[in-house]
Amino acid sequence: MDWPKVKTILIFFLLVINLLIGSLYVYRKTEDARMERQMVENVVSGLESMGVTIDPDIFKVRTAPIYMLEVERDTELEVSAFSVLLDQPVTEELGGGNLMLTSGESWARLSGDGLFEVFLGDSDGIRVAKPGIEGAVEVFRQMGIDVTGDYLTASAADDGIVVKGVQGLNGRKIFNRNYEINIVSGEVRSMRGGRILGTPLVCDTTPSVSLATAVFAFAENMNRNGTPCREISGAALGYYAESSAPGFTRITPAWEIVSDLGIYYVDAISLEPISQWSLPK
């Protein structure tokens, strides 16, 4: 048998297969892009027929799908973290999943779904070297909480500085998990809001819907409710959190949609409006 010839034929055969696979991949990518463009054009046209204008450029930002998550509450972790702010606190269970930590005039109330409120008495303030965002990050670090992925802003208040944060997860905001820290004379005096602790795990592999699908569903829903919007100027994919069972918090993908009527949220799995978190004008 002429082995060199057989080897040449096999190499040629493999090259042909690779070319066919490559061509099929390019075709599928091209076809996917064409179908995506067509879908966007159909959505823009459909919105226009409802009297809604939208900037086509908002569709240029590509967003990978995200998934529903769930986290189990870890009360030991919560007590350990917030005990750092108090001097040898006493922990009391108030029922309904609520915990109260007290130390002299200072206290911390911890609820389900990551909700908390902290007050520090005149002699118990936590000194920060750099008031502002850096100081808030340092306080959380001492509590064993990493907030480097959160969205933080700082602003002056009558009696000091207020640092506000929105919890981040996988590079996205959890829209309804916000908190603030009040810093007075270089000391943390109070904290309140919500920030989920623990490690969220995927509980449903259904991917979030596309932006095109979300904005069209939003416009249709507003029309059905008799409050049609006339313009959609922005959108962002993130999450919203809610209790799914005692001791568990579900973190669901959601689209934040900015319209002429205000900021609204749409469940990115079911397409149902999330009215309790929307901010109409």
The dihedral sign for the CA sequence 224, 229, 231, 232? negative
pLDDT at position 196: 92
Strand bridging mode 106-110 / 115-119? antiparallel
* DSSP line for 92-144: EEEETTEEEEEETTEEEEE-GGGEEEEE--TT--EE-SSTTHHHHHHHHHHTT
C-alpha angle with apex 58: 53 to 64, nearest 5 degrees?
135
CA dist 250 and 201 (Å) reads 10
pLDDT along the chain (281 residues), means of 10: 65 68 64 59 73 82 89 91 89 89 92 90 79 89 92 88 94 94 87 91 91 90 87 93 88 94 93 72 51
Q: What does the block give as tokens for 194? A: 């919500």
Q: For position 279, what pLDDT does the model report?
A: 57
Query: Quick one: the chain helix, strand, coil %, rounded to 5?
Result: 30, 40, 30
